[in-house]
Amino acid sequence: MLLKGKTAVISGGAGARGIGFATAKTFAAQGARVAILDLDAAGAAKAAAELGPEHVGIGCDVTDKADCARAIGEVLAATGRIDILINNAGITQAIKVWDIDPESWARIQDVNLKGVLYLSQAVMPHMRERKAGAIACMSSVSAQRGGGILGGAHYSAAKAGVLGLAKAMARELGADGIRVNCVTPGLIQTDINAGKISDDARVKILENIPLNRLGVPQDVANIFLFLASDLSAYVTGAVIDVNGGMLI
């Protein structure tokens, strides 16, 4: 039991086939009490209920600073402590760079990047007071290779921003005993890309993946488990690729 007695907040965990819910299930199986936050409040409540009565699901829009503070306050009222934050919520949009308009730019930055700041800020007073905490943030291979297979340049920019934000937070929060790390997944089969990869595209993608398969949510959940647990007690500001070797 790697997370026995710990409470973990996971954003974007409502989707049954998503990385967030796979992470929630993995953490619960390792003894954690889990709070799932998602824009889809009903989905978050349903996902938490599926894990068991001690887990909570709460509606939260990570783009809204006050809403993040409210949701974290509700988690603390229900659980009394937060040891782990997984900033997983995100959206993508397949669009060419010349077609990005101010609204789509803002929306993609707000959810993927600003949401990481706001939710992290919401847990900081509690973690700083307790001098302990593990925060892990969702970036993407799109940040590293420029342009995703299914995401636009605005998504790459937002996910690259997450790397800088997480490293800066790791530097500033280290003295308070708080670790901050990132994962950079390759193509993981979830609702975000379901039905969007043609057979031809799939063959081309696999040519560039030495492990010769697309990722599954559990591949990422396992790395979040490592980063959330004391196994990574001396790891902060790190970026872990979960991409089957796509960047070798």
Encoded tokens for 63: 């783009």
Count of other CB atoms within 10 angstroms of residue 163:
18
Least distance (Å) from ligand NAD to the CB of residue 21? 8
Decide: is 32 part of the binding site for ligand NAD (CB under 6 A).
no
Q: Annotate each residue in 118-147 with x if it binds ligand NAD (CB under 6 A) or - if it does not, as one string.
A: --------------------x-x-------
Structural contact between residues 82 and 133, judged by C-beta atoms closer than 8 angstroms = yes
147: left (phi over 0), alpha (psi -120 to 50) or beta: left
165 binds ligand NAD per the rule CB under 6 A: no
The two most distant CA atoms of the chain are separated, in Å, by: 53
Report how far residue 205's alpha carbon sits from residue 228's, in angstroms, rounded to the nearest whole number: 30
- Find residue 151's DSSP bridge partners: none
Q: How far is the CB of 211 from ligand NAD (least distance, A)?
A: 15
Kindly state whether residue 12 participates in binding ligand NAD, applying the rule CB under 6 A. Answer: yes
Which amino acid, one-letter code, is at 79?
Answer: T
Interface pick for ligand NAD out of 54, 99, 101, 191 (rule CB under 6 A): 191
In eight-state DSSP terms, residue 229 is S
Name the minimum Å distance from CB 132 to ligand NAD. Answer: 25
Tell whether residue 61 is a contact of ligand NAD (CB under 6 A). Answer: yes
- In angstroms, the CA 27 to CA 221 distance is 8
Distances in whole angstroms, Cα of residue 197 to Cα of each of 190, 205, 219, 234:
11, 10, 19, 38
Q: Is 39 in the site for ligand NAD (CB under 6 A)?
A: yes
Could you say which of 76, 82, 116, 188 contacts ligand NAD (CB under 6 A)? 188
Q: Is 40 in the site for ligand NAD (CB under 6 A)?
A: yes
Q: Is residue 92 part of the contact set for ligand NAD (CB under 6 A)?
A: yes
Question: Is 169 an interacting residue with respect to ligand NAD (CB under 6 A)?
Answer: no
Chain residues that interact with ligand NAD, rule: CB under 6 A: 11-12, 14-15, 18-20, 38-40, 60-63, 88-92, 111, 115, 138, 140, 185, 187-188, 190-193
